[in-house]
Structure 1
């Protein structure tokens, strides 16, 4: 009898958790669709009325999702990171850059997925360390112009791989690189310098990684360097 009751309780908790996760994705999708345009965030409007943002983060507190459920786990934490960055900016609004706020990435904590956690912990411990996927760098948006653009929709479990591919291709074929054919050189975002190991896994060179996603291939003899990261706030 006790085992039967335990099973019912367990299945009920799973159903509630799945419902919370669906609600989180739905409300995040609506929120981003309302406040993000061309990769820029309307912080001014959000600051005037933070109720939707606070509701999303309140739901995120109770979410329970395991790494074994890879797509749901990754989609949750990518969205949780991006929404928490917006919350961090709003809590310090007005601000010109996330770096103007001490501890923005490594000290300020958020209650997400049953944890009190920093943005750096989400990125480095919960995502990069577990899945070894360089494409995370093109969907985790740090609140600055130098980051990849924030899309105006949520990352969803059933479309996650397609979204990761799309955003990586957009970056590699867009502002993430500056190619000078005359000088046979290519400049990349400093992201490729800071996270070199992520872009050189399995014996791959950085040029190999670039060419995996780039329409116009970069010759192997091009010299790779890096342009300075733009930490100016990605505001509308």
Structure 2
């Protein structure tokens, strides 16, 4: 038994995983499996029994990650963002939209990875700034609005992250409700308007989207953006 425990500890040290980080990924996975269904969150149930959410927030506060281990860093902050969003909603629940909560994205702070930061800091400073060519973040960071790609009922983990990012990008960009096609006209989520620079490193938005499409969009499609749906992504 001692030999097994020692081996696990050596593996964690080798991959740069601390005990807090391992616990965070494991507890986050259980939390999302319990409270997320079909891309929606059961905020009411979490509000009634917030112990697991509070434990996750505490673990996220004490975890430490570094960009030198990019997959662990990215997976941690993706989960931390989604957990913090849920915490922000649950604190004020019931609400109809995250925008009903003053300072939800840019003022209200959470301690994540030992840093006191806002949701915008996680997305724009810790993730987008450090990994400027990874636009797939936009398909896994879930802002609590129905306009976002759906939250998943599992945690993002370092070993599965590449598959998870790819899967969610393919799912979003082939969803006719997210990418609306009518002949030569294509309506895109405002995500593509707000973060245009993330999707145009190798051409325009159509070039980027077609890397993931089963049926490519017309190269010279007329692009417009439909209004974002900020209604809360709560379980019906």
Structure (1 or 2) with the larger CA radius of gyration: 1
2:215 aligned counterpart, secondary structure: coil
Mark the runs of 5 or more structure 2 residues left unpaired by the alignment. Answer: 1-9
Unaligned runs of 5+ in 1: 1-10
Q: How does 1:52-91 map to 2 (within 5 A)?
A: 52-91=52-91
CA distance in 2: counterparts of 1:82 and 1:110, whole angstroms: 12
Q: Secondary structure at the match of 1:130?
A: coil
Q: In structure 1, what is the equivalent of residue 3 of structure 2?
A: none
Deviations 1:17-49 (A, max 9, x none): 611111100000000000000000000000000
Aligned to 1:120: 120
CA distance in 2, matches of 1:51, 1:17: 24
CA distances 1:89-109 after superposition (whole Å, capped 9, x unpaired): 001111000000110000000
What's 2:142 paired with?
141
Q: Per the alignment, in what secondary structure is the counterpart of residue 198 of structure 1? A: helix
- Given that 1:17 and 1:63 are in contact with CA atoms closer than 8 Å, whether structure 2 keeps it comes out as no
Deviation at 1:176, TM superposition (A): 1.7
Shift of 1:143: 0.4
Aligned to 1:3: none
SS of corresponding position for 1:65: coil
Map 1:185-224 → 2, pairs under 5 A: 185-201=185-201, 203-224=202-223
Equivalent in the alignment of 1:8: none
Q: Which residue of 1 aligns with 2:158?
A: 157
Q: Distance in 2 between matches of 1:221 and 1:148?
A: 25
The CA distance in 2 between the partners of 1:223 and 1:53, in whole Å, is 44
| Larger helix percent | 1
CA distance in 2, matches of 1:43, 1:222: 39
Say what the alpha-carbon RMSD is for the aligned residues.
1.5
TM-score normalised to structure 1 length: 0.91
Corresponding residue pairs, total = 222
TM-score (norm 2): 0.91
SS in 2 for 1:230: coil
